[in-house]
Amino acid sequence: MKKRRIKPGLSLRKNMTRIVSRMLRDVMASLEVVVAHPAREKDLHRARIAAKPLRYSIEILEDASGPRCKEYFSEIKDLIRLMGKIHDLDSSRAILTGLLKEIGDRAAVDAAASRTKELSPIRKMLAKQKRERARLFGKMAARVGRLKAEAVEKGLLENL
């Protein structure tokens, strides 16, 4: 994460506007990479972590902003929440995949192979989570496209 410098000659509001604008630009640039490469879970995680300071900064400015800014802020916060939900699914799927492998390895060694019955619910859960991730990712990609099309950064600068 880049350090954001306060300019002593500017008001707090102008400094925050400048900083939030740069943070948003950086987050949107990283999200464009994520949207172009949906399978790169680590890129999504990095973008989500980079977006957290943006969210906290938005929360500071939100009460002092007009209605249009609040709409932008709401969209950005929703986008960050979506990123979190997708990351949660990625984490859960990694745990379930590890469990599936562990049970499968034990079943291969176990002569009775009774553990294969245990695999079916895990596989179903993985498939369900994969579908949910795809749905949420599509929603996130659409929101990124909408924010980009609406020129949110410019809108924020004009409305703060």
At 35 the pLDDT is: 93
Instruction: Of 158, 141, 1, give the one whose Cα is nearest residue 79.
Output: 141
| Structure tokens that stand for 114 in this block | 């009774």
Report the amino acid identity of residue 147.
L
Q: How many residues does the chain have?
A: 160
Q: For residue 2, tell me if it sits in a domain.
A: no
To the nearest whole percent, how much of the chain has pLDDT over 90? 38
Query: Could you read off the pLDDT of 77-93 as tens digits, one per residue?
Result: 899 999 999 999 999 99
Angle at 138 between CA 136 and CA 141, to 5 degrees: 110
Structural domain containing residue 128: 12-159
Q: For residue 80, tell me if it sits in a domain.
A: yes
Q: For residue 56, tell me if it sits in a domain.
A: yes
Question: By the 8 A CB rule, do 136 and 8 touch?
Answer: no
| Structure tokens that stand for 159 in this block | 């409305």
Query: Could you read off the pLDDT of 14-45 as tens digits, one per residue?
Result: 778 788 888 888 898 999 999 999 999 999 99
100 pLDDT exceeds 90? no
Distance CA 7, CA 13 (A): 11
At 139 the pLDDT is: 95
| Structure tokens that stand for 3 in this block | 């350090």
Q: For residue 6, tell me if it sits in a domain.
A: no
Instruction: Of 34, 38, 67, give the one whose Cα is nearest residue 51.
Output: 34
Residue 131 CB coordination number (10 Å) = 10
More confident residue, 61 or 50: 50
98 pLDDT exceeds 60? yes
Domain tally for the chain?
Answer: 1
Across 28-32, 118-122, 131-135, least confident range: 118-122
Question: By the 8 A CB rule, do 22 and 41 touch?
Answer: no
Q: For residue 87, tell me if it sits in a domain.
A: yes
Q: For residue 7, tell me if it sits in a domain.
A: no
Q: Is 147 exposed, middle or buried (0-12, 13-18, 19+ CB in 10 A)?
A: buried
More confident residue, 105 or 86: 86
| Backbone φ/ψ region at 151: left (φ over 0), alpha (ψ -120 to 50), beta | left
To the nearest whole percent, how much of the chain has pLDDT over 70? 86
Q: Which residue has the tokens 């948003």?
A: 24
Q: For residue 45, tell me if it sits in a domain.
A: yes
